[in-house]
Amino acid sequence: MILAHDPGPVSRYRIMAVLLLLEGRVARSLIIPPFVQDVRGRRNYVLVFGGCAWFYFPDGSGVPRLDALTLTEDGRMEMRTRDLLKFGLITQLWKKAITRNPNIAEG
């Protein structure tokens, strides 16, 4: 795809992002290492950086009801916003991190 200078159709490799807010401001400094999750039996990759949670669906599957939020062939992408403290995906990761290392929540 890169060598051919042809990104292919959007359906081949879907990308979606959610803008993360903390106290009404974009959570720009939050960085979470990449991880894999399954959505309806399909693997996707999640990265958190730049104030967004980025979702990559390498098999093109995505979530049909969210198709309007994926990167389009002309480079546009609509993003939803989520309160960081109410975003289940992030709060679950935080709880797992605290379970592994209780000292992480201190200070």
pLDDT for 107 equals 45
Residue 1 lies in a domain: no
Read off the pLDDT of each residue in 63-81 and give the average, rounded to a whole number: 80
Residue 98 lies in a domain: yes
Q: Quick one: residue 85, left, alpha or beta (phi over 0 = left, psi -120 to 50 = alpha)?
A: alpha
What total number of domains does the chain contain?
Answer: 1
Residue 74 lies in a domain: yes
**pLDDT tens column, 13-70:** 788 899 999 889 999 988 888 888 887 777 889 999 999 999 888 876 666 677 778 8
pLDDT for 89 equals 80
Rounded-to-integer distance, Cα 103 and Cα 68, Å: 41
Q: 27 or 96, which is more confident?
A: 27
Q: Which domain holds residue 55?
A: 10-105
